[in-house]
Chains A and B, each alone.
Chain A
């Protein structure tokens, strides 16, 4: 996989805050790891690099569409990649940052906490699924779980927009409704891909942690207050 540009989730902040540095470092490390894991396909010329970059972006976009309209297709499983999940996770973590430079006591999840929850959660669910006897590969499962955060990222966007209006019970009900719908969408999308890999008498055991995972992320989105 050729090296891609910095992810589009890059914020427009001018000041080099620590979290931007953390984000750059983390994405660089992830890029290194993923490049190391791929069989050597290093491209040489700039033209080839650009072509492969476009191909990768198109693959990511295609997977986004597969998540939004989940059908029983194997595209997500066959050509797994971790760029999409990384982009989504970073976007979500950045949007969950509050505007004011507040102290840690004030309570919202830090950038690193969101990152840890998403990736540790995905790894734990994957391990659980494999220990229960599922026949899905480790990275395929990570890929699916990561991509299915897309509806919740959309919910976060909508919530942030809705929060620009004046607060009140209507505001909260709208956000609650949006988050519930997107939560259900995430679960349906990931179950469509993951449930087939388990024997039928253990399907509920494998799906329950997925439910818990997206529930926690939805909770973080719903309790977000800008200041």
Chain B
């Protein structure tokens, strides 16, 4: 199973922790294109393989062999297939891990186990984008029920806006963070920075807690909305900080604090942006001016006094 040159003991304590947890787990070496040295590669999969683990173990063995022989090029399908090598239970476990961050409990080491996937980040972002658009629309419907003077429109363009902003955040910010961490890698011999995929996974799974938060924002009580927002932001940012702390603590104090505060700040900006753009509180006398010239005379007195930015569409 494990050839000699794959057994590089970079993180010895954590390897024993992993082995202590699940003695039958087979971890593959995740050597990406740019770092010549891989992460921990401990292939223990000799004896018993239980029924449901059969496929996983075979696949990871095959993947390990594949990586020992050749790295599949990024133009082949199987290269991308290796990023979707997860089961339902693993995805659920990762989601649970992101919902309940604990200080010593590194998300990457304990849940990802050096096998990041793209399924979670991609579909969590998609779900969040659609849930944002749908609940924003629902808020408008409910507001119109209370106050029939509000003009309702399906506001379908918000789906596009939500999708683009969520995906940009969940993929560009990890890219920047990963680049920055690699640039600062310098003195850190003990623990390599996370690969790009692991950073994407961290961010993707941390966005999961926003989904129930957005659904709960349907309740039209302002202080409750801010409370839910603060709770979700706290959980999510705590997860990010606890995961990034082992990597940045080697660095100077200043850089570490600045980096972590920037991460938390960006996350907070995302949450605030979602709240303000998709869940605008509508003042009761807001009537969206109809675009045609044939508008009712009674509306003309109201509409010119409202600045365009307050219109819900």
Query: At the interface with chain B, which of A46-54, A82-90, A101-109?
Result: A101-109
**A107 and B156 within 8 A (CB):** yes
**A201 and B52 within 8 A (CB):** yes
With CB as the reference atom, state the residue of chain A lying closest to B83: A131
Q: Which 10 A-B pairs have the closest CB atoms?
A: A107-B153, A131-B84, A109-B156, A201-B87, A204-B88, A107-B155, A103-B291, A223-B154, A107-B154, A108-B154
Instruction: Kindly state the separation between the CA atoms of A86 and B89 in the bound complex, as whole angstroms.
Output: 36
With CB as the reference atom, state the residue of chain A lying closest to B80: A131
Instruction: Kindly state the separation between the CA atoms of A199 and B152 in the bound complex, as whole angstroms.
Output: 45
**B55 and A212 within 8 A (CB):** no
Query: At the interface with chain B, which of A10-18, A37-45, A142-150, A213-221?
Result: A213-221
A177 beta carbon closer than 8 Å to chain B: no
**A209 and B123 within 8 A (CB):** yes
Interface centre among A102, A201, A224 (most CB of B within 10 A): A201
**B291 and A205 within 8 A (CB):** no
Query: At the interface with chain A, which of B97-105, B126-134, B183-191, B201-209?
Result: B126-134
Cβ-neighbour of B130 out of A103, A104, A216, A224 (below 8 A): A216
A132 beta carbon closer than 8 Å to chain B: yes
Instruction: Kindly state the separation between the CA atoms of A215 and B313 in the bound complex, as whole angstroms.
Output: 23
**B88 and A203 within 8 A (CB):** yes
Cβ-neighbour of B134 out of A105, A130, A204, A219 (below 8 A): A219
B146 beta carbon closer than 8 Å to chain A: no
B2 beta carbon closer than 8 Å to chain A: no
Cβ-neighbour of B137 out of A103, A209, A223 (below 8 A): A223
**A106 and B89 within 8 A (CB):** no
**A132 and B88 within 8 A (CB):** no
Q: B78-122 vs A: 1/0 string, CB under 8 Å? A: 001101101111010000000000000000000000000001000
Instruction: Kindly state the separation between the CA atoms of A111 and B46 in the bound complex, as whole angstroms.
Output: 57
Instruction: Kindly state the separation between the CA atoms of A215 and B130 in the bound complex, as whole angstroms.
Output: 9
Which residues of B approach A to under 8 Å, CB–CB?
52, 55-56, 77, 80-81, 83-84, 86-89, 91, 119, 123, 126-127, 130, 134, 137, 141, 152-157, 160, 291, 313
The SS class assigned to the B binding surface is helix
The size class of the interface chain A forms with chain B is: 20 to 34
Cβ-neighbour of B55 out of A113, A201, A203 (below 8 A): A201
Query: With a CB–CB cut-off of 8 A, which chain B residues contact A225?
Result: 152-154
With CB as the reference atom, state the residue of chain B lying closest to A203: B88
A-B contact pairs, 13 of them (CB 8 A): A106-B153, A106-B313, A107-B156, A108-B153, A108-B154, A108-B156, A131-B80, A201-B55, A201-B87, A202-B88, A208-B123, A215-B130, A225-B153
Cβ-neighbour of A106 out of B84, B86, B291 (below 8 A): B291
Query: With a CB–CB cut-off of 8 A, which chain A residues contact B56?
Result: 201
Instruction: Kindly state the separation between the CA atoms of A164 and B13 in the bound complex, as whole angstroms.
Output: 70
Supposing A201-B52, A205-B87 touch, asked if A107 and B157 sit within 8 A by C-beta, the answer is yes
Cβ-neighbour of A205 out of B81, B91, B157, B160 (below 8 A): B91
**B88 and A107 within 8 A (CB):** no
With CB as the reference atom, state the residue of chain B lying closest to A102: B291
A171 beta carbon closer than 8 Å to chain B: no
Interface centre among A106, A109, A130, A203 (most CB of B within 10 A): A106
A133 beta carbon closer than 8 Å to chain B: yes
Query: With a CB–CB cut-off of 8 A, which chain A residues contact B80?
Result: 131
Interface centre among A113, A133, A223 (most CB of B within 10 A): A223
- Minimum C-beta distance from A198 to chain B (A): 10
With CB as the reference atom, state the residue of chain B lying closest to A117: B159
A137 beta carbon closer than 8 Å to chain B: no
Instruction: Kindly state the separation between the CA atoms of A224 and B153 in the bound complex, as whole angstroms.
Output: 9
- Minimum C-beta distance from A111 to chain B (A): 12
Query: With a CB–CB cut-off of 8 A, which chain A residues contact B89?
Result: 201
Cβ-neighbour of A105 out of B84, B127, B291 (below 8 A): B291
